[in-house]
Amino acid sequence: MAYSTIRYDVDEQIATITMNRPHRLNAFTYEMGDEMMAALDEADGDDTVRAIIVTGTKPAFCAGADLSTGTETFDMVSQTQHDGTFDAKDPKWRDRGGLLNLRIWNTLKPVIGAVNGASVGIGATMILPMDIRLASMDAKFAYPFAKRGIVWDGCASWFLPRVVGISTAMDWGLTGRTFSAAEAFESGLVARVVPAENLMGEARDRARMIAERCAPVSVAMMRRMAWRMQGAAHPMEAHRVETQGILHAGMGADAKEGVMSFLEKRAPDFPMTVSQDLPPWHPWWDAAEDEY
């Protein structure tokens, strides 16, 4: 499909989603959120895509919500009452950042965030459900919700404490202060910080490792297993799912190819696809949880 606020490109089995409103520092709009979710759908439905990179057109990653509507920026009721489409009592209204982040969390392909500049508000929460987060040395981060008189968006109250711990999450969230890529690395928000000119090369290197060396069904299952276990009450829950996963995968063509390619010292050519070969017991959680 045609996109107006993002770019979507596929090359070397890697899909790249680039937020593309540089005149507004890639500030987030409803349209951008819808287009990013559509691009994720496109990547998930394409078996040639093995990994996804999300970045922004220079000079920013995403500077947060577009504030051009002034005092109505966060007033969804006021915005939609103008055309009569919103009922303040409608339980179906959802935070748009949360919808995007749940979609990222539920993707079947690994997502790599390449934070190339300012990452603020929704720009800083959208990276939380991504699997690998990389940043340039000049990237800056902030969760300024309290400074804008609102609260967390993008399910950040669930994601951020799990990524960096509750103390750091509270420091960043309650002060709303801006912090550096170095602090983001020290706190575990990003896996690596590199010079700006090396960022996309680093992201593509990670994506190629996944695309060229790893079985797509294994990758899809492993990322879902790890994220789902963030809320598990006991390691036995992981043991049950892993046992089921190993038993099913061990009988599959990918496991045979994985062993033979290792023994024959060659690159693997995994035959199974995410669209056709996820195990029959997937999803193993209550399907109602995915009604987002």
**Cα separation, 27 vs 11, whole angstroms:** 26
Q: Where are the beta strands (DSSP E) in the chain?
A: 6-11, 14-19, 51-56, 111-115, 118-120, 132-136, 140-142, 178-180, 192-194
**Which has the higher per-residue pLDDT, 196 or 74?**
196
What b/e sequence results for 260-273 when a residue is b if at least 16 CB atoms lie within 10 Å of its CB, and e otherwise?
eeeeeeeebebebe
Distances (CA, A) of 181 to 52, 54, 82, 103, 137: 22, 17, 41, 26, 6
pLDDT digits (tens, 9 = 90+) for 193-249: 999 999 999 999 999 999 999 999 999 999 999 999 998 999 999 999 999 999 999
pTM of the model: 0.91
Q: Which amino acid is at 189?
A: L
Q: Are 221 and 245 in contact (CB under 8 A)?
A: yes
Give percent above pLDDT 70 in the chain. 89
Indicate whether 112 pLDDT > 80: yes
What pLDDT is attached to residue 144? 96
Q: Strand 192-194's sheet: what is its strand order?
A: 6-11, 14-19, 51-56, 111-115, 132-136, 192-194
The pLDDT assigned to 66 comes to: 86
pLDDT surpassing 80 at residue 59: yes
8-state DSSP, 233: S
Q: What pLDDT is attached to residue 68?
A: 72
Which of 289, 240, 239, 249 has its CA nearest to residue 272?
Answer: 249
Contact 211, 14 (CB under 8 A): yes
Taking the CA atoms of 180, 181, 184 and 186 in sequence, report the sign of the dihedral they define. Answer: negative
Which residues are within 8 A (CB) of 86 and not within 5 positions of it... i.e. 6 or more apart?
A: 76, 77, 79, 80, 93
Q: What percent of the chain has pLDDT over 90?
A: 85
SS3 category, 113: strand
Going by C-beta distance under 8 Å and a sequence separation of 6 or more, which residues neighbour residue 38? 1, 3
pLDDT at 87 > cutoff 70: no
